[in-house]
Amino acid sequence: MGKAAITRLCIIFLSVATLIGVAQEWRARQPVHYTITDDNGLPSNEVYQVVQDNFGYLWIGCDAGLYRYDGTEFRYYTSSRQNSRSVSGLQLDANGTIWCKNFTGQVFRVESDSLRVVCDLTGRVSSVFPFTLDDAGNLFVGMKRSIVQFNHDGDSIASIDVAPNDSTSLLPIQDMIYYKQRLYCFLPRAGIFCVNPVSSTVQKVLTEVEHWNSVAIGFFLNNGKLHGLRSDNSKRQYSLSVLHGDSMTVYHEYLPHEGGFRIHAVCSDRDDQLWLCTSAGAFRFDATVVSLNTADAIYKTEKISWLLHDKENQYWFTTLNSGLIASPSLEVCMLDPENSALGEKQVTAISCFDQNTLLAGTYGGLMYHVDPINDSVAAFIDDGLKKYYAVKSFTDASNYFIVAHGVTEFIDRKTEERRLMPIANARDVAIAGDTAFFILPEAFAAVSLSDFEKNNAQTDIVFIRKTGGRAIEFNPADGLLYVAFNDGVFTYSAGRLEPVTLNGHPVFANALSAAGGVTWVACVNDGVVGFQNGNVVARYSAKEGLKESNVRTLFAVNDTVIACTNEQLYTICTKAKQVNSYDITEGINPKDVSAVTMCGEQIWLATNKGLLHFPFDLPGVNTVRPNISITGISLDGTALSADSSCSLPYGNSNLVIQFSSVALRSRGKAVFQYRMIGLDSNWITSPWVNRSVTYPNLPPGEYRFEVRAVNESGFSSEKPANFSFTVEQPVWQTWWFYVFATILLVGAVLAITTLRIRSVGRRAEMKNKMALSQLTALKAQMNPHFMYNALNSIQDLVLQQDVKNATLYLGKFSRLMRKVLEASGKEEITLGDEIELLGLYLELEKLRMGDQFTYAITRGRDVDDNIRIPSMILQPFVENALKHGLLHLKGDKLLTIDFSLENDLICTVTDNGIGREKSALIRRRQEHPSFATEATEKRIDLLNAFRDGHYSIAFTDLKDGDVAKGTRVTIRIPLG
């Protein structure tokens, strides 16, 4: 495609009087297209030029400025120094950077998200001044008679005079191009000049005309060669030239004109075919063309200003009044009332009777002949009086065909005689032998054709089944008639109807078509199924490549099935078992299709917008992999750099990653797939309109975000765009924190261990003291006085020959000793054992002290014998009461022991002895301390230190006035 400014040819005027061929008016094929205008996002309908950069973005120069288009959004690029809004002359330099100009003399370069003014020649150049770029990024601007050179930063570094001062040209340099390290420029009435920008030497290029009477010339590149388009007013024609060595050689001169035709640009597509962009549409031509005809133009009602053939094989036409025209494929064409004799848009039926004839029927009941070779349309038996209802079907026979369109017509193919058949509202017709079978909304019927030809309206109708349906098809290979009833598909033969099934369930159909011995069924829920002799022989569903199971219509020919769903049109090669699909991205909208057929190598579709056709081998797969880039990264609204050393703080709240891609052909059907390795390795699919993803509160670790674009055919980006980063560890997960925590932990463990060792030591010491206390108490309990007195009393019984009592008390003494020894080895015993030990002890003491001594052991009702208490904790106090309180008392001696519960166990030992004061005085005189009492008190202290709870001993002196009446000892023992 040429690099020269789009407006360089805007003043070329050519006549088109000889270009208009009225007889061929409907021959032009009109490619299917969609438009982008100011109604759906385009900033201006006056568009001058469009180019595509290396990434795939479209850059649009229009009356509203410079815009970048990614297939979804328009981004505006401007400069605060820009003094004119309109932008044209778009060019890409060697680095893929976009350059452009406005009409006041400013040249811009795209940098980041804005325009940078590289040079400002306002007032010094014409509004259509040319500029070009060399491989090093130097800028060259055409002035009146010279070329000014600027470096990449916009500094003027050279000025080269092109024409001598005495030149007859009064006009500035009109066009200029950089080609093979030389500058070629055209100066009106002076000629073409070749300039060496390094040496500043100028050489005139030889031409066949020394002084051209031209008003314009434009340079463009095609097939790697420099071409020129020249308009010659003297000869009233234009010509194409090519550079050979040092001269421009004319290789075509044509189009003598008489006015009215304007050429805006010459462009090359990706196949190196040349296009004329004109005020009467776009023309594609090559070197063999000697004349152009307006009938050959596409979009001939539009003022085409530029053409771009993008990387996805889609064509973009810019217009000066209708915005952008996008054609997914020039081979997908539409015949409608605007470009053909078709009377209405909504075509409901179509059938191919031979390779040269198509019949098409409309919703209004009209029928048309279609020439598939010349794309011409003519009314079939054009009598406007015979309009019926929508054409449902065409059924072909050898000499006639039957049309169902409200009424049912029998039409002779030779004479075109039309006769009404006695059947109304037929949805489909099939011919088997001499019989025409009809499927109606309410019945399945038949008519004898021979009888009809003889009797016409008097022909009898045979109703075979009073159930309606949608379609009917006769398969001569198996001799079966297949009927799509409302309750399923049946075969009919010899007067019998048999249901056909798939995996044991009925088959519901929208359409039927037989070819190659197989009857193909467009199923409501089961895709495309083929039957022979009523049995399933083939099936195409999701497993074989159909994305939908509800097939609306189909057509079969040889080993090919054409099937249409709501979202896709499929061509199925049954022999190779290959499925191709088409949709809106190829300019084919399956939702519009009501019927399909094939004529020659073209597929024809009856749609509600006209007749659409395209080659059978039209590529249905877009293999161009979309590029992908990460356009922005932010954390809590603050932009981040995407370098490899990016680190995010712990506790980040919202990481937003933005990305962009271009899939122009997909029309929004492409998707994004992304993943965050380190969080989840699975790809997540996102709609095309979602251009960002947010991650809240990522945990610490290393991450790699990857994103790729996947086009409508499933082809993804060559390499995903990626962004690697680290989320910092929190303070408590850093190495120095671990060291500090380890030191702290070791210190704590040492401290706890030390304390534990001390605690264990103290407990061991307490246990030793407890044991010592128990031994001391045991010694106190087993003191010689007690043993001596007890044995003495037993000896008295022996001397008195009271053998019975001596034996009894000796046994009790033995039991007491055994109980004491058992209790001394235990820390705890039951209350019952303690009471039994006390009873034995007191019985022996009573033997010694005589009948004057009495004792009693009592307890409350709620006191249980199984309560556990420290072993022998009470005996020392009982012994102390006897030894120091009652022994020195004259008269009756009484000792009571009582047990009660008040949360704790309360043990009360009460005697009516001489009291503690007299007892202490006697001990001092006798120098006999109470070892048992002291040992027990130490034991109580140890128990309080060693166990939970609180042990206590309380002494109460009982008096009557100043006279001692005894002593009460209260021992509190905690339970549990």
Whole-number Å distance between alpha carbons of 28 and 333: 10
Query: Residue 183 — pLDDT band, cuts 50, 70, 90?
Result: very high
SS3 (DSSP) at 501:
strand
Q: What is the pLDDT of residue 27?
A: 41
String of b and e for 746-759 (b: at least 16 CB within 10 Å)? eeeeeeeeeeeeee
> How many C-beta atoms lie closer than 10 Å to residue 781's C-beta?
22
Q: What is the pLDDT of residue 782?
A: 45
Q: What is the pLDDT of residue 254?
A: 64
Q: Read off the amino acid at residue 769.
A: K
Q: What is the pLDDT of residue 23?
A: 28
Share of the chain above pLDDT 70, in %: 87
Which uninterrupted H or E stretch holds 747? helix 735-781
- Model pTM score: 0.73
Which has more pLDDT, 30 or 194?
194
Q: Do residues 61 and 88 lie in contact, with contact meaning Cβ atoms separated by under 8 Å?
A: yes
Q: What is the pLDDT of residue 837?
A: 85
The Cβ-side half-sphere exposure at 438, using a 13 Å CA radius, reads 29
SS3 of 822-852:
HHHCCCEEEHHHHHHHHHHHHHHHHHHHCCC
Whole-number Å distance between alpha carbons of 403 and 434: 17
Q: What is the pLDDT of residue 260?
A: 59
pLDDT digits 0-9 by tens, 660-684: 999 999 988 999 999 999 999 999 9
What value does the mean pLDDT take over residues 496-518?
A: 95
Query: Residue 359 — pLDDT band, cuts 50, 70, 90?
Result: very high
Q: How many helices (H) and strands (E) does the chain have?
A: 8, 75
pLDDT digits 0-9 by tens, 813-860: 888 888 877 777 787 889 898 898 888 888 888 887 888 889 999 998
Strand duo 569-573 + 578-582: pairing: antiparallel
The Cβ-side half-sphere exposure at 800, using a 13 Å CA radius, reads 11
Query: 36 - beta bridge partners?
Result: 324
Q: What is the pLDDT of residue 292?
A: 60
Laid out side by side, the sheet with 904-911 consists of 853-859, 893-902, 904-911, 963-973, 952-960
Residue 926: pLDDT over 70 = no
Question: Over the Cα atoms of the chain, what is R_g?
Answer: 57
Sorted by sequence, the CB contacts under 8 Å of residue 727 that are 6+ apart come out as 647, 648, 649, 650, 652, 698, 699, 700, 701, 703
Strand duo 893-902 + 853-859: pairing: parallel
Whole-number Å distance between alpha carbons of 122 and 333: 46
Q: What is the pLDDT of residue 101?
A: 97
pLDDT digits 0-9 by tens, 391-419: 999 998 878 889 999 899 888 888 878 88
DSSP 690: -
Q: Which residue has the tokens 């290396």?
A: 54
DSSP 303: -
Q: How far is CA 949 from CA 136, 877, 941, 969, in A?
A: 97, 21, 12, 20
String of b and e for 652-664 (b: at least 16 CB within 10 Å)? beebbbebbbbbb
Q: Which of 161-165, 420-424, 464-468 has the least mean pLDDT?
A: 161-165
DSSP state letters, 362-376: ETTS-EEEEETTTTE
Q: Which residue has the tokens 């060496």?
A: 196
Alpha helices, DSSP H, located in 444-486: 449-455
Query: Residue 357 — pLDDT band, cuts 50, 70, 90?
Result: confident
Question: 479-483 — which CB contacts under 8 Å span 24+ positions?
Answer: 480/519, 480/533, 480/534, 481/430, 481/432, 481/437, 482/512, 482/514, 482/519, 482/521, 482/531, 483/437, 483/439, 483/444
Q: Which two tokens stand for residue 529?
A: 């199924």
CA 337, chain centre distance (Å): 43
